[in-house]
Amino acid sequence: MKYVLVTGGVVSGLGKGVTASSIGVVLEACGLRVTSIKIDPYLNTDAGTMSPFEHGEVFVLDDGGEVDLDLGNYERFLDVTLTKDNNITTGKIYQSVLDKERKGDYLGKTVQVVPHITDAIKDWIESVSLIPVDGKEGQADVCVIELGGTVGDIESMPFIEALRQLSFSVGQENFCLIHVSLIPVLGVVGEQKTKPTQHSVRELRALGLTPHFLACRSAQPLLEATKAKLSQFCHVPAANILNIHDVPNIWHVPLLLRNQNAHHSILKQLNLTSVATAPDLDSWTKMAETFDNLTDHVKIAMVGKYIGLTDSYLSVVKALLHACIACSLKPQIEWIAASDLEDESEKSTPEAHAAAWKILKSAECVLVPGGFGDRGVSGMVLAAKYARENKVPYLGICLGMQIAVIEFARSVLGLERANSTEFDAQTPDPVVIFMPEGSRTHMGSTMRLGSRRTHLESRDSLTSKLYGDVCYVDERHRHRYEVNPEVSQVLEEAGLRLVGKDDTGKRIEVIELHDHPFYVGVQFHPEFKSRPTRPSPLFLGKSLFSFQN
């Protein structure tokens, strides 16, 4: 196995994940098989209990892993299916070591960070890198490892030490270290500053790791003089100083790396030149250029709770992009804080209320994504009602589907207080309820998670048609509540089409409306499996049919 380690220096938020996945794309374009591991040095076992407000979305894998959103980038860029073990956290490592300690595996020994924690990290990396993730048999050629955080963080120290040991044990030609750093420009003089990078490389070297490459983030292309200085002070050959300057969209990053011959130098470092081909990035070039040149817009209202940080719905945004590229439209995503639509807000914040409704009414379609907790729920119900009554295309994802059911029960069945027990435990009409198999005591990893089968009962349903006339789909889930199976019949009699069910035939997975151009709610999250070249059918919607004709 060949390892490419990507570390970061100076500041967080440099786009290390995009850089690491773009390196993977370039290597894949050279005919190599690539897998990836993301290390998050925090203590949480996984991202499942973290707030999207703080960390952005929780990405869900086929195997039910609730992981860092960077794994979503890897899946989309490399077109692979990762496992929960591809995301390593301090929590997972300590848990495995402590479990072994309790079992007596270290009997007689003092259990320490070095060597026990560091050994556990190395073993984890070495075994996970062997898992095939691209649907083929056998191991990948290269494993890209991204170390989260910034070099020098206290919590990443055991990982740095483990990776130093790994680099030594696997040998020079199997290990390539790429350090992502920032080259700021200061003041009126506008000079590209190398000092922060010098310091972070010095820090890395003090910890025993010497970067083979620098990937420098900058606003403008790096000047030759800047590169020369970096090379001299950071102990990195000038040819190995890569520059990722600002580009119009992230699909340009693999192209930028290819244009700087990054693949050539990385392959040389890893002694892979003889097995690799010339990079074929035609589809990436097409995608990046198509996106830059889109002129027609489509206005999409995203009605959610976590709209302050758009990373909270990263995969939904990406899925919209994939679908838009396929129909040559530029997505104009209009974020609406659901609570601004509510009657309450008309009194407390009339301007925000008016603005929110103006946006909703001008949008060509409405999307209510997943979410938890009762904030903004009434606003989402109003958005669903608006879309249903005005025949505006509506896609409800997970919470968005539950909202559509609540709205239907209230407006069509006349059950004014119909609700989910998540938002009103005392509701007389619980149309959405806690799933019997859920845990009321433990929050971590206890939801209905990962890939589950949804049987599309009715072949004439829009959903079945969109997925290509299929009778089932396997999509990823993450929820604790479900539509109350006891109300299925009344909902159906009143005109709500319950077209998708789980394996038991009882749990409602997909709802549709007949007399509406596009009103679809799904209990699963189609956004997690959308790929740049294979947009999710539900996001593409009816435009899919126009392509087929």
| Residues assigned a catalytic role | 398, 525, 527
Chain CA centroid to CA 545, Å: 28
Give the whole-angstrom CA distance, residue 267 versus residue 94: 34
Is 407 near ligand GLN (CB under 6 A)? no
Is 59 near ligand GLN (CB under 6 A)? no
The smaller minimum CB distance to ligand GLN, of residues 42 and 372, is found at 372
**Residues that contact ligand GLN, how many (by CB under 6 A):** 10
Q: With CA atoms as reference, report the closest residue to 7 among 211, 313, 198, 191.
A: 211
Give the residues across from 483 on adjacent strands: 432
Segment lying near ligand GLN (by CB under 6 A), choices 19-27, 166-174, 295-303, 479-487: 479-487
CA dihedral 231, 232, 234, 239 (to 10 degrees): 20
Segment lying near ligand GLN (by CB under 6 A), choices 86-94, 196-204, 349-357, 477-485: 477-485
The smaller minimum CB distance to ligand GLN, of residues 88 and 432, is found at 432
Other C-beta atoms within 10 Å of 188: how many?
5
Options 46, 407, 422, 512; binder of ligand GLN; rule CB under 6 A: 422
Segment lying near ligand GLN (by CB under 6 A), choices 92-100, 368-376, 379-387, 410-418: 368-376
Is 372 near ligand GLN (CB under 6 A)? yes
Residues 6+ apart with CB under 8 A from 63: 83, 84, 450, 451
Segment lying near ligand GLN (by CB under 6 A), choices 30-38, 264-272, 323-331, 472-480: 472-480
The smaller minimum CB distance to ligand GLN, of residues 388 and 507, is found at 507
How near is the Cβ of 372 to ligand GLN at its closest, in Å? Answer: 4
As given in the structure block, the two tokens for residue 116 are 């026990």
Is 323 near ligand GLN (CB under 6 A)? no
The smaller minimum CB distance to ligand GLN, of residues 248 and 373, is found at 373
The smaller minimum CB distance to ligand GLN, of residues 400 and 532, is found at 400
- Return the amino acid letter for 410: R
The smaller minimum CB distance to ligand GLN, of residues 32 and 401, is found at 401
SS3 string, 204-235, reads HHHCCCCCCEEEEEECCCCCHHHHHHHHHHHC
Q: How many residues does the chain have?
A: 549
Is 370 near ligand GLN (CB under 6 A)? yes
Segment lying near ligand GLN (by CB under 6 A), choices 208-216, 324-332, 370-378, 449-457: 370-378
How near is the Cβ of 447 to ligand GLN at its closest, in Å? Answer: 7
CA dihedral 502, 503, 507, 511 (to 10 degrees): 30
Segment lying near ligand GLN (by CB under 6 A), choices 72-80, 164-172, 233-241, 365-373: 365-373
Give the whole-angstrom CA distance, residue 416 versus residue 193: 62
Options 222, 234, 399, 462; binder of ligand GLN; rule CB under 6 A: 399
The smaller minimum CB distance to ligand GLN, of residues 214 and 511, is found at 511
Give the whole-angstrom CA distance, residue 505 versus residue 421: 22
Chain CA centroid to CA 440, Å: 27
- Going through 219-323 in order, the beta strands assigned E by DSSP cover 241-245, 297-304
Is 481 near ligand GLN (CB under 6 A)? yes
How near is the Cβ of 528 to ligand GLN at its closest, in Å? Answer: 11
The smaller minimum CB distance to ligand GLN, of residues 4 and 301, is found at 301
Residues 6+ apart with CB under 8 A from 171: none
Is 528 near ligand GLN (CB under 6 A)? no
The residue number with the shortest CB distance to ligand GLN is 370
Indicate if the alpha-carbon torsion angle 341, 346, 352, 358 is positive or negative. positive
Q: What binding mask, one character per residue, do residues 122-141 give for ligand GLN by CB under 6 A, x or -?
A: --------------------
Chain CA centroid to CA 62, Å: 13
Place of tokens 């007596």: 104
The smaller minimum CB distance to ligand GLN, of residues 184 and 438, is found at 438
SS3 string, 134-198, reads CCCCCCCCEEEEEECCCCCCHHHHHHHHHHHHHHHHHCHHHEEEEEEEECCEECCCCEECCHHHH
How near is the Cβ of 524 to ligand GLN at its closest, in Å? Answer: 9
- Return the amino acid letter for 309: L
Options 72, 304, 331, 371; binder of ligand GLN; rule CB under 6 A: 371
Residues 6+ apart with CB under 8 A from 347: none
Segment lying near ligand GLN (by CB under 6 A), choices 230-238, 260-268, 367-375, 379-387: 367-375
Q: With CA atoms as reference, report the closest residue to 98 among 115, 112, 83, 84.
A: 112
Is 159 near ligand GLN (CB under 6 A)? no
Q: Are strands 519-522 and 394-397 parallel, antiparallel or unpaired?
A: parallel
Is 375 near ligand GLN (CB under 6 A)? no
The smaller minimum CB distance to ligand GLN, of residues 161 and 509, is found at 509
State phi, psi for 43 to the nearest 5 degrees. -80, -20
Is 67 near ligand GLN (CB under 6 A)? no
How near is the Cβ of 544 to ligand GLN at its closest, in Å? Answer: 24
Residue 121: its H or E element: helix 118-128
How near is the Cβ of 105 to ligand GLN at its closest, in Å? Answer: 38
How near is the Cβ of 345 to ligand GLN at its closest, in Å? Answer: 22
Is 398 near ligand GLN (CB under 6 A)? yes
Options 479, 497, 507, 529; binder of ligand GLN; rule CB under 6 A: 479
How near is the Cβ of 404 to ligand GLN at its closest, in Å? Answer: 12
Interacting residue ranges for ligand GLN, rule: CB under 6 A:
370-372, 398-399, 422, 478-481
